Amino acid sequence: MELEFDPLLLRSLNLFLLVSFAFLLVKIWKKIETYFHKPTPKLPPGPTKLPLIGNIHNLHNLVVGGGLAHHVFGDLAKKYGLLMHLQLGEISTVVVSSAKLAKEILATHHPSFAGRPANLATRIIGMSKKISLLLLMEEISKLAESIIQSSGGSPGGVLVNLTHKLFEYSSSVICRAAFGRICKDKDTMIKRVKIALALVGGFNLADVFPSLKFLPIITGLKHKLLEAHHKIDEILDDVVKQHIENHEIGRKGNAESGDEDLIDVLLRLQQETSTDLQIPIRTRNIKALILDMFTGGTESTAVTIQWALSELMRHPGVMKKAQAQVRQVCKRKKIIEDDDIQNLKYLKMVIQETIRLHTPAPLIPRASRENREINGYMIPNKTQVIVNAWAIARDPEYWDEPEKFKPERFENKSFDYMGTQSEYIPFGTGRRMCPGVTFGLASVELSLAHLLYHFDWRLPDGMMPNDLDMDEVDGLVVGRKTDLQLIATPYHDFPDD
C-alpha cells in the first residue's frame, strides 16, 4: 500500500525545515564571526604617550625632583582611571588605585603577579618572634633612658631629635635580632644601609631605560650602588663567617640571650634543607634575606612612630586621650609589657589611623609573569604593576573625610592588617605580603606606648600644632621631610628601684 501525504502538509513541513536550517546557519555563522572577531582586550587607559619617552613627561615633578610618586600617580589616576597604563621609557607600567582590583592582583591572581615567592622570610621572622620581643623591650628602655639622661632632670625638658633616635632604635633592634652579639659593626652597617636606601629611592632615569647601559655609568649611580653593595656585603660576609666558626666550636646560639639569632636559624635551615634534598639555601640567600629585613624593617617602623607622634602633636585632644589611657593601664609600672598593649585600644586606633593616612610604603611594586586580563583590560607579561596603597587608603568611596586624622573611625570597625578589607592594605596582602607585619606592629605599639607613658611632649619655640611641618620626602618608605624635634619632659609614676 502506498502512503499518501497531504501535499499541503508536506509543503509546510519543508518550509519549517528550511526556516529551522536557515536559523541554525545564522547561529553558527554568528558564533564563527564572534570567535574570529573577538575584540582583543586593550591596555588600560592612560595619558597620551610621546615617542621614545612614553609618559615620562607626565612625571616631570619626579624627574626634576621634589614630587612624590604616590601623589603623582594618585592625581593621574583621578583623570585616567583606577587601572591606568603608563609607558615609562622602556618600562610598561600599570598603576592600580582601586581596592577591589588591588586585591585581585595581590591575592586572587597571586602567582601571575608574584615576581618571586617569599616564604622563607615569613618563616624566619615568625620563628624569631620570641627573641625579637625581648630585644624590643630592651631597646625601647634604652631609648627612654637616653632621653631621661639627656634631660638631666631639667623641669623645662630637653629637645629630642626623634627622627635620629627612632631610626637608631629600629635599626638596633633589627641588627641585634639578625646578628646577635656578633654585630660589632652595627653603626657602620646602619650608616651604609641608609646610604643604599637613599640611592634606590626616588625616580632614576636609568631604571626606565634599562637598555641604555651607559646611563647609570654617566650618572654615577652604578658606581655608587656597587660601592654601597660591596661595603654592606663585606660586613654581612664577616658576620656569617663568624657564626659558622662559632657553630664549628659547638656554639649554636649567638643571640645575646644564648638563643639562636636570625643567622643561626637560617644556617640551621640551610643544613636541614641540604639533607632534605629540598631547594638548598645558599649563603648568598642568607645575606640577601638579612639585607631585605634591614631595608624592609628599619625605616618603615621608624617613620610610622614619627608620623604617629607628629599627628598626636597636631591633635592635642587625641594625645590627651591616648596618653591618659596608657598611664591608666600601665599605672606604676616601669616597663610596659606586651600584655598591657592589648588593653590600649585607643592607642591601637591611633596607630591604625596613622598607617592609613601616612602609608609608610605607599607603592607596592610587582611584576606580571604572564598575560592576564583584569577588569576587561590586558596586562601583558613583564609589565611593572604598582599598587598605590596610599591612594586606596584615602578613596572617598570607602573613607569618610579621608584627609582627616580621625582614630575614632576605627572604633566600631574590625579592620586587620592582613588585607582582609581591600581598602586597607598598608602591609600588602596575599602570600607576598610583608613578613614583618607582627614584629613591625609590636615594635610601633610598644615604643609609642613607652614614649607616651614616660614623657610629656611639647612643640619647641612656642610653635602651634598647625605649624608642625608635615611634608613628606619621596622614597620606597615615605618619611618626614624635616626632622621631628620635640621637647620631652620625663613623667614619673613608678616607685624608684
Positions in the binding site for ligand HEM (CB under 6 A): 106, 118, 121, 125, 292-293, 296-297, 300-301, 304, 360-361, 364, 426-428, 432-436, 439-440, 444
CB 132 within 8 A of CB 180: no
- Nearest-angstrom CA–CA distance, 123 and 126: 5
Question: Judged by CB, which is closer to ligand HEM: 55, or 388?
Answer: 388
Distances (CA, A) of 53 to 35, 81, 84, 89, 339: 36, 21, 17, 5, 55
User: Cβ-count burial of 11 within 10 angstroms (0-12 exposed, 13-18 middle, 19+ buried)?
Assistant: exposed
How near is the Cβ of 387 to ligand HEM at its closest, in Å?
8
If phi > 0 it is left, if psi is from -120 to 50 it is alpha, else beta; for residue 236 that is alpha
* Chain position carrying cell 592607642: 347
How near is the Cβ of 165 to ligand HEM at its closest, in Å?
17
Residue whose C-alpha is closest to residue 202's, from 394, 98, 61: 61
- Nearest-angstrom CA–CA distance, 194 and 206: 21
Question: Judged by CB, which is closer to ligand HEM: 355, or 487?
Answer: 355
- Nearest-angstrom CA–CA distance, 295 and 69: 19
How near is the Cβ of 150 to ligand HEM at its closest, in Å?
26
Helix (H) or strand (E) holding 113: helix 110-113
Residue whose C-alpha is closest to residue 306's, from 469, 177, 439, 438: 469
How near is the Cβ of 211 to ligand HEM at its closest, in Å?
25
Residues with Cβ within 8 Å of residue 174, at least 6 apart in sequence: 293, 294, 297, 298
- Nearest-angstrom CA–CA distance, 158 and 306: 17
DSSP state of 265: H
Residues with Cβ within 8 Å of residue 414, at least 6 apart in sequence: none
Rounded to 10°, the helix 186-200/162-179 angle is 110
How near is the Cβ of 54 to ligand HEM at its closest, in Å?
25
- Nearest-angstrom CA–CA distance, 158 and 460: 10
Q: Which three cell numbers stand for residue 481?
A: 621631610
- Nearest-angstrom CA–CA distance, 185 and 172: 11
84: helix, coil or strand? strand
How near is the Cβ of 173 to ligand HEM at its closest, in Å?
8
Give binding residues as ranges. Answer: 434
How near is the Cβ of 189 to ligand HEM at its closest, in Å?
15
DSSP state of 50: B
How near is the Cβ of 254 to ligand HEM at its closest, in Å?
18
Give binding residues for heme as ranges. Answer: 434
- Nearest-angstrom CA–CA distance, 82 and 101: 8
DSSP state of 407: G
Distances (CA, A) of 176 to 51, 305, 325, 436, 451: 51, 20, 31, 15, 21
Neighbours of 43 (CB within 10 A): 16
Q: Which three cell numbers stand for residue 464?
A: 602651634
CB 462 within 8 A of CB 140: no
